Amino acid sequence: MLTPKLEEALNAQINAEMWSAYLYLSMAAYAHAQGHAGMANWFEVQFKEEQDHAMILYKYIISRGGKVYLKAIDAVPEKWGSPLEIFEETLVHEQKVTTMINNLCALAANENDYATQSMLIWFIDEQVEEEDNVQKLIDSLKLIKDNGFGLYMLDKELAARSYVKPATLAD
């Protein structure tokens, strides 16, 4: 059984994950409008992953006898100045999510909820991967600078990314 504090915090995280999904869908739409179909694909995969993160939390709350409360999702940005800027904002956002997950884990420890701590380890590992992947893209974009061919090649590479459903959601 979840404590009221933890149930509330996990519900807030569901909202944050859905906001993240919405942000990445907005970034995908912007990338498409700029002619970067590969980058758009990368963000569309991120969109699906963030929805999955919300569903993992949703199912977890229910499995622990809690109640899910879905709240409104705030508006997200719609424009960015460059591919580098969009990925730099992505990194800042992922770092914020990492802090939120760490805070959830600390709360679970304070509430002596070892099951929730265990579940959150997957999210902690996921955030390390998310930040690393985005940092590598930022590094590539900094090397490319204004080289159109380099940007074209990176866009082609990002077009190859495919969605993989997390094992925790396997049917």
C-alpha–C-alpha distance, residues 102 and 98, integer Å:
6
| pTM (two decimals) | 0.94
Q: Which residue's entry shows tokens 């204004």?
A: 146
Residue 123 CA from chain centroid, whole number: 10
The answer to whether 141 touches 84, Cβ cutoff 8 Å, is yes
Q: pLDDT by residue for the chain (171 residues), tens digit each?
A: 999 999 999 999 999 999 999 999 999 999 999 999 999 999 999 999 999 999 999 999 999 999 999 999 999 999 999 999 999 999 999 999 999 999 999 999 999 999 999 999 999 999 999 999 999 999 999 999 989 999 999 999 999 999 998 888 866
Q: Which residue's entry shows tokens 């002619």?
A: 35
C-alpha–C-alpha distance, residues 17 and 23, integer Å:
10
Q: What is the CATH number of domain 4-162?
A: 1.20.1260.10
Alpha helices in the chain (DSSP H): 4-33, 37-63, 83-110, 114-144, 148-159
Residue at 141: amino acid letter: L
